[in-house]
Amino acid sequence: MQRLFSMFPVGLPGVGLLCLRLTAALSLCLATQSTRIRFPALAWLLEILCFLLIIGLATPVLASCCVVAGAYALISTDGAAWRCAGIAIPVAIALALLGPGGYSVDARMFGRRSVVLNDPNAPPERRDRT
């Protein structure tokens, strides 16, 4: 899963990616309002998908699912949901390509790692013995 993420920016870029996740999830929820009446189980699945996208779990995979769900919303409503899906699809594509950002569950699970190499000039008690 770590190969899906290039980096986990923090600070303002991380907040920007958090806003992208919120925008994609909320616009997808609005675009799929018509499925709530016809397919209640699908509506629950989409709400779970939106919640997981907001917290940032498996973001590239779920953002790709958002693109598919937004396209389905456009097709199933004969273009009536074009305002919300028109926002959800490009934002979800950008999110799938950029990754979750530093303020996400993915960053906690697969985030930055520091590698400490042994110094050959260090005293023997400080060197790792492997």
- pLDDT, tens digit (0-9, with 9 covering 90-100), for 94-117: 998 888 888 888 888 887 666 666
pLDDT at 126: 56
Instruction: pLDDT band for 19, please (50, 70, 90 cuts).
Output: very high
Residue 7 lies in domain? 2-126
**Buried (b) or exposed (e) across 11-38, using 16+ Cβ within 10 A?**
eeebeebbebbebbbbbbbebbeebeee
Instruction: Indicate whether 21 pLDDT > 60.
Output: yes
| Per-residue pLDDT tens digits for 33-81 | 766 777 788 888 888 988 999 998 988 899 999 899 888 878 877 777 7
Which comes out higher in pLDDT, residue 60 or 130? 60
Can you tell me the mean pLDDT for 18-41?
82
Q: How many domains does the chain have?
A: 1
pLDDT at 33: 76
Q: In whole angstroms, give the CA distance from residue 106 to residue 109.
A: 5
Q: In whole angstroms, give the CA distance from residue 23 to residue 11.
A: 18
Can you tell me the mean pLDDT for 7-29?
87
